[in-house]
Amino acid sequence: MAIAAAITLPSTAVNHRSLSSPYEASFSSFRLSSSSFQQSSTLKPISVRTGKKPGFRVFSSMSIHAPETSSPTSFLDHKESGILHFVKYHGLGNDFILVDNQDSSEPKITPEQAVKLCDRNFGIGADGVIFAMPGTNGTDYTMRIFNSDGSEPEMCGNGVRCFARFIAELENLNGKQSFTVHTGAGLIVPEIQEDGKVRVDMGEPILKASDVPTKIPPNKDQSVVKARLDVDGLNWNVTCVSMGNPHCVIFSTESSKDLQVDELNLAEIGPKFEHHMVFPARTNTEFVQVLSSSHLKMRVWERGAGATLACGTGACAVVVAAVLEGRTGRSCRVDLPGGPLDIEWREDDNHIYMTGPAEVVFMDQFLSDDALFLPDENYHLDRLCWLKRTNLYS
Ligand SMILES: N[C@@H](CCC[C@H](N)C(=O)O)C(=O)O
């Protein structure tokens, strides 16, 4: 039996860097109270050397099997009040910390704490933190997300696939494989397939320039398709698409030179698009190469997260842009650095459907706020070494 100490995550003077957030958010202190719990067969206690604050423990597990002692079958059965649980998932290497936030309509951690958790050297490491919250407007659930820089985007495609798998572990869905999710981009409907992949109805793309939003002068139909944009002394042909969040998609430069995406210096050019004055809410940027009329290859620079291994909303925006520029059909495989996604922009309902994987990386729980607030070096060395062992070698 392990006893978890009472701790309080400090109330933060929140600088909530919302990206035109659709939500009213106020963040209060979140108190973690005393708790005792039974160690299940899937939980491995880790003694962590903290230096200044000895004796607290992190429990972590890579097992997705049910604890032997309880009847429900999820690997998330050991839910104790007062402990912040999370599971890390990834969708093609786009990785997220998933938090069960169903008992509150306020995120349990602040944007500042999210930045610390997402840090790949001093934290858990992730492209964002996702909160599973009670449904809104009649939906089953609400999904909110903080990027790794603490900003709040409207939507996340890889994230919603991870969200679906997380919910399927948390809840008894009674054989239901599909549910409704309220997001800043509106209603999103994921469906877990028999092969474990998740197919998501991502809704309709938004093409009206002022709604993307972009200040690039639009065409007569208000869309921005293959418009010229000068970035870093080069004229790029850009198509702007919103999937709830903004995307700038590029296949070529003005001299009609098609991109060879592996040749790009993403870290140099990406931020120049993200912060360009024509994108008032910043932008995600996708650089794309056409391999065939149904096969694309892309690299992405994400708003608020930088270069990531995959971007689901980005892959959807890329197929919409490819169709609008007359480069592909409506059904494409999109190769991202982390692997492929299947995207279809259906003509009958104008919706985009994305199909791809979502996998557990590991689960963990905080018994202390040390991981959120500048822990000492020993803590990290011990803990990260352990996580590396379990992730890579066990
Ligand atoms: N990786 C995500 C997109 C996450 C949000 C993005 N960084 C933004 O700020 O809009 C995806 O898979 O869609």
Please count the other Cβ atoms lying within 10 Å of the Cβ belonging to residue 373: 13
The burial class, CB within 10 Å (0-12 / 13-18 / 19+), for 362 is middle
Residue nearest to atom 4 of ligand 1 (CA): 156
Active-site residue, from 156, 162, 316, 332: 156
Tell me how far apart the terminal alpha carbons of the chain are, to the nearest angstrom: 25
Contact yes or no for 143/133 (Cβ under 8 A)? yes
pLDDT, residue 129, reads 97
Atom of ligand 1 nearest to the CA of 158: 12
Confidence at residue 74, expressed as pLDDT on a 0 to 100 scale: 57
Domain 24-203+358-389 classification at class level: alpha beta
Contact 179, 190 (CB under 8 A): yes
pLDDT at 355: 98
In Å, how far are 105, 119, 151, 362 from 385, measured between CA atoms? 35, 16, 29, 14
Give the ipTM. 0.99
Token digits for 24? 């009213």
Domain borders along the chain are 24-203+358-389, 209-350
CA of 71 from ligand 1 middle (Å) equals 37
**What is the pLDDT at residue 33?**
27
This prediction has a pTM of: 0.79
Q: Which residue has the tokens 């003005």?
A: 254
Q: Which two tokens stand for residue 186?
A: 């509106």
Is residue 147 in contact with ligand 1, taking CB distance under 6 Å? yes
pLDDT at 214: 98
Would strands 331-336 and 295-302 be described as parallel, antiparallel, or unpaired?
parallel
269-291 per-position pLDDT tens digit: 999 999 999 999 999 999 999 99
Residues in the chain with pLDDT values less than 70: 1-83, 365-394
Q: In the prediction, which pLDDT does 175 show?
A: 82
CA of 367 to the centre of ligand 1 (A): 29
Q: Give pLDDT, residue 205.
A: 98
Residues β-bridged to residue 154: none
Matching fold, domains 24-203+358-389 and 209-350: yes
**345 touches 330 (CB < 8 A):** yes
- Is 156 an active-site residue? yes
Q: How many residues does the chain have?
A: 394
Indicate which residue of 118, 240, 248, 311 is catalytic. 311
**311 included as an active-site residue:** yes
**Could you say which architecture CATH assigns to the domain 209-350?**
Roll (3.10)
Q: What is the pLDDT of residue 11?
A: 33
Q: Is the CB of 94 under 6 A from ligand 1?
A: yes
Backbone angles phi and psi of 350, in degrees to 5:
65, 10
